C-alpha cells in the first residue's frame, strides 16, 4: 500500500546547498532532506521561530517536529547542468548601506 504522496520539483534553476563555509557554498544535484523539510514547513506556514527539531525543547509535540519523522525517496528523471555564478556582499558600500544580517549586524 502506498500512503505517501508525490512532490515533483522542476524548473530552470534550483540550488540545494549542503555545505557552506564563509564565502564558499556548494550545491547538490538533488534536493536535500533539510531543504525539503524546510520547503514543506514553509508551505504549511510554520514560522521560522517554531522550527524546533526536538519536540522536547518545545514542551511537547510540534508540527515541525512531526516533519522530522518524514521518510523521503528522491528520484532523478533528468540530470541538469551546473551553472556557476558569483555574488558579492556589500558591493563596496559603507556598512550602514549594506544588507542587514539575520543576527542584526551588517
Reply yes or no on whether the pLDDT at 21 is more than 60.
yes
Q: How confident is the model at residue 60 (pLDDT cuts 50, 70, 90)?
A: low
Other CB atoms closer than 10 Å to residue 44's CB: what's the count? 10
Distance CA 32, CA 22 (A): 20
For residues 29-52, average pLDDT: 84
Tell me the three state secondary structure of residue 37. helix
Q: How does strand 24-25 pair with strand 20-21?
A: antiparallel
Q: For residues 98 and 90, is the Cβ–Cβ distance under 8 A?
A: yes
Bridge partner residues of 6 (DSSP): none
Cell of residue 105, nine digits: 549586524
Q: For residues 62 and 68, is the Cβ–Cβ distance under 8 A?
A: no
Using one digit for the tens of pLDDT, what is the confidence trace for 63-82?
Answer: 887 887 888 888 878 777 87
Widest Cα–Cα separation across the chain: 60
Amino acid at each position: 500500500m502506498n500512503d505517501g504522496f508525490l512532490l515533483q520539483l522542476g524548473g530552470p534553476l534550483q540550488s540545494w546547498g549542503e555545505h557552506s563555509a564563509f564565502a564558499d557554498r556548494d550545491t547538490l544535484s538533488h534536493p536535500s532532506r533539510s531543504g525539503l523539510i524546510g520547503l514543506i514547513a514553509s508551505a504549511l506556514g510554520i514560522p521560522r521561530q517554531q522550527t524546533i527539531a526536538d519536540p522536547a525543547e518545545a514542551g511537547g509535540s510540534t508540527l515541525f517536529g512531526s516533519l522530522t519523522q518524514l521518510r523521503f525517496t528522491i528520484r532523478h528523471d533528468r540530470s541538469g547542468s551546473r551553472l556557476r555564478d558569483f555574488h558579492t556582499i556589500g558591493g563596496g558600500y559603507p556598512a550602514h548601506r549594506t544588507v542587514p544580517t539575520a543576527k542584526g549586524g551588517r
